[in-house]
Amino acid sequence: MKNTKLSNKIFTVCNVIFMVLFVVVTLYPVLNTLAISLNKGLDAVKGGIHLIPRVFTFENYATVLKKQNLMTGALITVFRTIVGTFSSLIANAILAFIVSRKRFLFKSQLSLFWVITMYVNGGMIPIFLLYKGMNLTGTFWVYIIP
């Protein structure tokens, strides 16, 4: 920091302090959850937040991995993530190629349709109809009750 203004030095110090605090606030819950998962169940229920497990064990992971329906759900989630990402990538690449052509006939209509489907997801209309049926539209409760 040679030949820099005092304001730049102050900004750099404040920026570093903010970033360190941000990293701590972000990583602390993750490390706490990991420590609780590696702790014995009864000891974790006793309370007291510790980043290092008092009684280190893998029993919790063994219990979870033994449940067949949980593993099936996890595999379905991984499969849907991979297939969904790949198919979305292919569809977007094809559409981008088509829309990039200058003489494509329905270029603006297709682009509008594609953008609308990106922002209006499939659950938005049923949720709106549910809220309307419960007379929650136009009230503050629509923000409270998910």
Write the DSSP string, 85-140: HHHHHHHHHHHHHHHH-TT-TTHHHHHHHHHHHHHS-TTHHHHHHHHHHTT-TTST
Does the global pTM surpass 0.75?
no
Dihedral sign for Cα atoms in the order 35, 36, 41, 45: positive
Contacts for 2 with CB less than 8 Å, ≥ 6 apart: none
- Distance between CA atoms of residues 116 and 94, nearest Å: 17
Question: What is the per-residue pLDDT for 18?
Answer: 97
pLDDT tens, per residue, the chain with 146 residues: 566 788 899 999 999 999 999 999 999 999 988 988 888 877 777 776 677 888 888 998 888 888 888 888 888 889 999 999 999 899 889 988 988 888 888 888 888 988 888 888 788 888 889 989 999 888 888 877 76
Name the residue ranges covered by the structural domains of the chain: 1-66
